Amino acid sequence: MKFKPVLAFFLTTFAMTITASAARPMKIDDLLAVKGVSDPQISPDGKQIVYVVSEIDRATDKSNSDLWLISIDGGEPRRLTTSASADNSPRWSPDGKTIAFVSTRSGSSQIWLLPLAEGGEATQLSKLPVDASGPIWSPTGDKLAFTAEVYPGKTPDETAAKDKEKEASKSKVRVFDNLMIRHWSSWDEGKRSHLFVIDAKTGAATDLIPKWTANVPPAPFGGSSDYAFSPDGKEIAFTSEPLKDMAWSTNTDIWTIPTTGGEPKNVTSENLGTDNSPSYSPDGKFLSFVRQETAQYEADLSILMLRNLANGKMIELNRSLDRPVMSYTWRKDVRKDANSSTYEIVATIDDNGAEPIVIFYVLDSNGTSIVQKPKFAVTEGVNASAQVTHDGVSIVCVRHNAASPGELYRYRDKATHPLEALTTHNSKLISELDLAKAEGFTFKGADNDDVSGWIVKPPGFDASKKYPVLFLIHGGPQGAWHNEWHARWNYAMFASPGYVLVAINPRGSTGYGQKFTLQISKDWTGRVYEDLMKGLDYALEKYTYLDKTRIAAAGGSYGGFMVNWIAGHSDRFKALISHAGVFDLTSKYGTTEELWFPEFEFGGTPWDNPKNYREQSPSLHVKAFKTPTLVIHGALDFRVPDAQGIGMFTALQRQGVPSRLVWFPDEGHWILKPANRIVWWREMHDWLAKYLK
């Protein structure tokens, strides 16, 4: 009777041993083969989920995306679209019979409708001469809202005609009267993203803000979460960039406008910081949005706000948590009586190297609102794009961590139902790879404060051996290393040649309280540098398998700045890698675009406060440069213009320091094209191997 269980145990253990021994280090082809799972949308009846799966086409060097459908109970997913063009942004009609989505199959990005009846074919709804994006349905189902770029005061047809005229002109001159003249990786061509409504039957589209001179939603990262219909479908709330001083103002606001058109109304004019992501409560009694109160400070605490539309009173949901809200959605009011209602919001927050899902509760009784203690529903790893079923029972999200790419998961608010994986698009690939989990640690940093970090081990790890160390420094500077699967700065790819990663979340990192985040502003080289060096020292002492004689450091953006700073202040590293790093703060101010950023970070302009710019510039410490340094930059990087990378390389060369410049003419702040990513990783690994192995 005992033989079968023992045999089963033996066979299972043997199979696991074989699998573990067969697992191999990750390669760049593996990273590029990972399928991106994103944008889950639950059907109105709560039974199905439509979502997007993106894959890289190596032949075209582009990413392609398609729509997939799966039951909320799991099972085999069904591919809804197979077009060679990109299909994305799916949204259910209120009756659940149709999915609106964006596709490039007609030659430009347009809105298409896919009936869910068996054998239904997608039909094109919008037929504009300009690209359409971000469709959302009106609750009444008779129209959709979307955005498109036009010249202010001109129709889509007039915009297309003007573009054709400019393309035909032999002169490509650009003339500007105002900043911004360029942003992130694009020059300002004069067009602005406007909010449109389109008839769901006829396809007739109307620009609601035809003369608007700012982008709706804010460029370049705004999306359909920045506009929303009221429950009765009569009004739209939307987020707009500042109407003036856009280059040095973060004062985005929430506006409302009737869906039939009219004069927009600014409903957050009292706040000089950022307001975005508007949404209405299901009963229409509250308008919610995310607010940052400090002007010019893009890393201020993101507070989820509720405005009572009857009396104007404001409610703050997450200030007591001291953690920023990343995204949110309303949950159905499941507990109410004649005198009170409980409103629930499901949100993702940034917390201690993770992005958990939290449920906020507001008890609204006889006009008095009380915020109740929030519940942490899904913890550990990164949990994004949370959506809630109409009955409020299930939460669906995209979940990933350092050893697992994103897949769809379902959470039910019951102890009897653990977190369930719904999709396994990457399971076969991941089963072949030797991927280590990120292990957290905490140490005492500057001011004797607690600071956190991660350790990631290489494939085939053996604790009895000594491993070279790769010290990673994150960008932002207000960002964080999370327990996440990153498509670019991927832990497993860095560790694959045999390196142990040490990644510290020093002063300025998000998710550890707003005071901790703020302490890097005007002090880019003080506490943060001390945190980093103490964190590295702690790891070297705690983990005996780390080789203290073979250490390299790598960072991008602010991380690149810190690498440049380290080059002039430490000889402990065998090699350095600076991606998109700032070399000289004063010259960078004059060529970047978002001026609010340096003006807040360094206490004004370089002519008003030259000391902060001068004393924190790596360019003043060139004479101390000795460490071999790889410099990487994109020519289309307008956040940190490529002159910064070229300047760093020039200084290294002039000092006779072994150095190499890798310059991408067709990339911006991030290296995105698959062929370029292969080069990026090859250059990284070759440089590390040269000095660490």
pLDDT of 366 reads 67
Beta-carbon neighbour count of residue 479 at 10 Å? 19
Higher pLDDT, 58 or 187: 187
Instruction: Give the range of the structural domain holding residue 117, as residue numbers without chain letter.
Output: 37-125
Task: Over range 154-164, report the average pLDDT.
Answer: 98
Task: Specify whether 399 is located in the same domain as 444.
Answer: no
Residue entry with tokens 């102890």 = 415
Residues 475 and 389 in one domain: no
Same domain, 486 and 581: yes
The CATH number of the domain where 604 resides is what?
A: 3.40.50.1820
C-alpha span between 408 and 658 (Å, rounded): 46
The β-bridge partners of 146 are: 196
> Residues 579, 664: one domain?
yes
Gap between the Cα atoms of 176 and 178, Å rounded: 6
Residue 4: per-residue pLDDT: 37
Mean predicted lDDT score pLDDT of the chain: 94
Could you say which of 432, 462, 479 is where a domain stops?
432
**Element of type H or E holding 563:** helix 558-567
The reply to whether 458 and 439 lie within a common domain is: yes
Is residue 128 within 8 A of residue 158, CB to CB? The reply is no
pLDDT attached to residue 20: 47
Same domain? 462 vs 493: yes
Angstrom CA distances, 337 to 361, 362, 371, 392, stand at 16, 14, 18, 17
Q: CA-CA distance, 47 to 91, in Å (whole number)?
A: 15
First to last CA, the chain: 54
β-strand partners of 631: 578, 661
Kindly tell me if the per-residue pLDDT of 338 is higher than 90.
Answer: no
- Band of pLDDT at residue 636, cut at 50, 70 and 90: very high
Give the whole-angstrom CA distance, residue 396 versus residue 379: 14
> Is a pLDDT exceeding 80 seen at residue 149?
yes
Half-sphere exposure of 670 (CA within 13 A, CB side): 10
Q: What is the pLDDT of residue 1?
A: 34
188 within a domain of the structure (yes/no): no
CA distance 321 to 619: 40
Average pLDDT (239-257) is 97
Q: Which pLDDT score is estimated for 369?
A: 81
Share of the chain above pLDDT 90, in %: 89
Greatest Cα-to-Cα distance within the chain, rounded to the nearest angstrom: 87
The predicted structure's pLDDT at residue 21 = 53
Rounded mean pLDDT, 641-659: 98
581 and 541, same domain (yes or no): yes
Provide the pLDDT for residue 10: 36
> Does residue 333 surpass a pLDDT of 80?
no
Rounded mean pLDDT of 491-507?
98
- Reported confidence tier of residue 327, pLDDT bands at 50, 70, 90: very high
Listed range (49-53, 332-336, 395-399) with the worst mean pLDDT: 332-336
Domain boundary among 379, 411, 432: 432
pLDDT, one tens digit per residue, over 60-82 is 888 999 999 999 999 999 999 99
- 397 vs 301: CA distance, rounded Å: 23
CB atoms closer than 10 angstroms to residue 332 = 14
Quick one: pLDDT at residue 339? 66
Are 427 and 439 in the same domain?
no
Report yes or no: 364 and 343 within 8 Å, Cβ to Cβ.
yes
Contact 631, 648 (CB under 8 A): yes
Res 337: pLDDT: 62
Instruction: Tell whether 391 and 485 lie within a shared domain.
Output: no
213 domain-assigned:
no
Q: How many domains does the chain have?
A: 3
Mean pLDDT over 108-113 rounds to 98
Q: What is the DSSP letter of 618?
A: G
Asked if residues 491 and 500 have their Cβ atoms less than 8 Å apart, the reply is: no
What stretch of H or E contains 630?
strand 629-634
For residue 478, the model assigns a pLDDT of 98
Q: What is the mean pLDDT of residues 190-199?
A: 98
pLDDT digits (tens, 9 = 90+) for 608-634: 999 999 999 999 999 999 999 999 999
> Of the residues 77, 96, 125, which one is the last residue of a structural domain?
125
Residue 435: which region, alpha, beta or left (left: phi > 0; alpha: psi -120 to 50)?
Answer: beta
Q: Looking at residue 332, what is its pLDDT?
A: 74
Structure confidence at residue 117 (pLDDT): 79
Given a cut of 90, whether residue 196 has pLDDT beyond it is yes
User: Does residue 149 lie within any of the structural domains?
Assistant: no
Say whether both 414 and 428 belong to one domain: yes
β-bridge mates for residue 328, sequence order: 347
In a domain, 638, yes or no: yes
Instruction: Indicate the Cα dihedral angle 352, 355, 359, 360, nearest 10°.
Output: 60
Among 233, 207, 261, 238, CA closest to 94:
233
User: Is 406 among the domain residues?
Assistant: yes
How far apart are alpha carbons 101 and 161 in whole angstroms? Answer: 26
- Find, among 535, 525, 519, the residue nearest to 445 by Cα: 535
> Residue by residue, what is the 3-state secondary structure of 191-249?
CEEEEEEEECCCCCEEECCCCCCCCCCCCCCCCHHHEEECCCCCEEEEEECCCCCHHHC
**Rounded Cα gap, residues 664 and 632, in angstroms:** 8
CA distance 607 to 598: 12
pLDDT of residue 670: 98
DSSP annotation of 8: H
Contacts of 3 (CB under 8 A, 6+ apart): none
pLDDT of residue 392: 85
Say if residue 526 is in the same domain as residue 577. Answer: yes
Is the pLDDT at 233 greater than 80? The verdict is yes
User: Are 462 and 418 found together in one domain?
Assistant: no
What per-residue confidence (pLDDT) applies to 368? 78
Q: What is the rounded CA–CA span in Å between residue 90 and residue 133?
A: 11
Q: Give the amino acid at 209.
A: I
User: Which range is least confidently modeled, 39-43, 83-87, 158-162, 597-601?
Assistant: 83-87
Q: Is the pLDDT of residue 335 over 60?
A: no
Q: Name the nearest CA neighbour of 209 among 178, 169, 243.
A: 243
510 has a pLDDT exceeding 90: yes
Report the distance separating Cα 399 and Cα 355, nearest Å.
Answer: 10
Mean pLDDT of 423-452: 98
Q: What is the pLDDT of residue 367?
A: 65
- Strands 205-207 and 227-229: what pairing? unpaired
Per-residue confidence band for 262, with pLDDT thresholds at 50, 70 and 90: very high
Which residues, including other chains, have CB under 8 Å from residue 22's CB and lie 6 or more apart? 432
Q: Per-residue pLDDT for 144 more than 80?
A: yes
Considering the domain boundaries, does residue 144 fall inside one? Answer: no
Residue 238 placed within a domain = no
How far is it, in rounded angstroms, from Cα 151 to Cα 210? 9
